[in-house]
Every structure is written in structure tokens, then in C-alpha cells.
Amino acid sequence: MLAALNPVAFHLGNLNVKWYGILMATAVVVAAWMAIAEGKRRQIMSDDFVDFLLWAVPIGFIGARLYYVIFEWNFYSQHPDQIIAIWNGGIAIYGGLIAGLIVLLFFCYYRVLPPFLMLDIIVPGVLLGQVIARWGNFMNQEAYGAKTSLAFLQNLHLPNFVIQQMYINGAYRQPTFLYESFFNLIGLILILALRHRQHLFKQGEIFCFYLIWYGTVRFFVEGMRTDSLYIAGVIRVSQALSLVLVILAIGLIIYRRKVVHPRWYLDGSGLKYPYER
């Protein structure tokens, strides 16, 4: 049996640079590049995205940590010195997304930018970032599922290095990181293939599609994981939030189409320079 892959990519003196951090940084850079490229099509300056990221990335990480700490408060209330020890693990993507959304709303208000338009531009990069970042969990041998068999993993036609990395604590595990990464990639392909179709998506609906797609994927994948955060020890937090987001996104699409009647956005019709709310 091959040894597990080393989560440490290289050393800088006494500092261990881990693959998780490298992949997270790559995810941020790729997401920024995608947003800037699409923003040019929508007459939004690249500086707006760069300035937004300067706020959103650090606050997003703080939100991801706070989210985790809140739902593991039984531990952190007894070990308050560990609250800031993010290097020991413990961040949650939903916390980062919520924090990032709050930053974006404030940012758009002060820059006089249309928030739904910004969300439509940003979320494809966010989704690709999630595809990439999940491989950081793979390198750390975390975010995995229940025990399974070698034969099951081989029947999935996975590369051998993935199968071997899923041998954790004396047993093979469901590669839930891979399931989420793969289906997020499918969602991204759909967005990129359809978002410029004429008269298909209205402003804000790419964002809603993202919430529906990711919420659905996360709901099912979360049910397979062994490291979920719980409410009252019974309800998986991410499953509950995923369900809420899917319902809200569907409701938002219906409300805006029936009541607000926003102009077409993704095919370019109805837009006035520089921005239209």
C-alpha cells in the first residue's frame, strides 16, 4: 500500500506551507480572474473587483472561522485560546460565503454598484474556487465519508492515488470531497454554457442558480460526511442551511419574475452604461 500524500508542500524555514493553503490561494486568484474577465463584458472596472477582494477575503476567512466556532462552542468555550488557532483546522465554507455576501452588499452600496449584477459575475468564480479548494481537504485527508471498501472505490474508476489517500484510520472512506468537487464542476460548466444565452437568465438568476445547485449538492454530500457540525446533536447545520438557501433562491426567482420584473441582463439587452439597478 502506498503512503498517504504529504499535506505539506514545502518548508520556508520553520514554516510549513501546506497544499491546503496553496489550493485556497489558487482558488481566490482564479475566482478573481474570472470575475474581472466577465466584469469587462459588463462595463465594471477591474479595480472594483480587486478592492472588493481586499475586504472579502480576510473577512470571509474570519466568517468561516466564526461559523465553525459557534457550532463547536461546547469545545471552544472550554478552550478559548483555541478560537484563533485556525492553523489547527476548523473553517466552514458557508460561514465564508455569508461573510462575503455581507461585505459585497456594503461594498456595492458605497461604490454604487448593482449587487445582483455583481453576484452574477462573481459566483461562477466562487464555484470554481470551491471545486479547487476541496482538493485541499483531499490532501489533508478530511471532509470524508463513512467506511467503504476498496472494491467500491475501484468501481468508481478513480486514480490509484485518490484511492490510497482515502485509506484513513485503518479503513477506506467515501471520497465526499470528490463528490462535491465533481458536481460543482458540472454546475460551473452549466453556468458558463448558459449564462450568455439570450433571454434566459435575468439579473440575479445566476446567483440564484448557484444557491440552488450548490445547496442541493451540499445537502446530499453533507449527509454522507462524518465530520458535520450539528444543531442540538441531531440536525446537520449545513444540510439545514442548504435546504433554506434552495427554497429562498427558488422563491427569489419567482418573486422577481412575477413582481419586480427586472430587465434582461445576461444577453446584454436593457443595460445602460455604466450600471443599472
pLDDT of res. 67? 95
DSSP 8-state secondary structure symbol assigned to residue 168: E
* Cβ partners under 8 Å of residue 115, min gap 6: 104, 105, 108
| H or E segment to which residue 167 belongs | strand 167-168
- The pLDDT of residue 170 is above 80: yes
Task: Supply the range of the domain harboring residue 15.
Answer: 8-260
Identify whether 271 is part of a domain: no
pLDDT, residue 2, reads 56
Residue 267 lies in a domain: no
Q: What share of the chain is helix, strand, coil (3-state, %, to 5)?
A: 65, 10, 25
How far CA 277 is from CA of 41, 104, 215, 250, 270, in Å, comes to 17, 15, 26, 21, 11
Over range 230-241, report the average pLDDT.
92
Listed ranges 86-95, 172-181, 196-205; the one with the highest mean pLDDT:
172-181
Query: Could you give the CA distance from residue 245 to residue 235 in angstroms, rounded to a whole number?
Result: 16
Query: Is residue 1 situated within a structural domain?
Result: no
| Domain assignment of residue 134, yes or no | yes
Q: Nearest CA to 52 among 145, 117, 138?
A: 117
Other beta carbons within 10 angstroms of residue 104's beta carbon come to 18
* 44 occurs within a structural domain: yes
Q: How confident is the model at residue 232 (pLDDT cuts 50, 70, 90)?
A: confident
SS3 253: helix
Asked whether residue 22 is domain-assigned, the answer is yes
DSSP conformation letters of 8-44: EEEEETTEEEEHHHHHHHHHHHHHHHHHHHHHHHTT-
- Set of cell numbers at residue 193: 454554457
Number of domains in the chain: 1
Ramachandran bin of 230, using left for φ above 0, alpha for ψ from -120 to 50, beta for the remaining angles: beta
Pick the more confident residue, 220 or 14.
220
Residue 24 identity: M
Residue 3 lies in a domain: no
In a domain, 214, yes or no: yes
Output the pTM of the full model: 0.91
pLDDT tens digits for range 26-70 = 999 999 999 999 999 888 999 999 999 999 999 999 999 999 999
State the burial class of residue 249 (Cβ atoms within 10 Å of its Cβ: 0-12, 13-18, 19+): buried
Residue type, 235: I
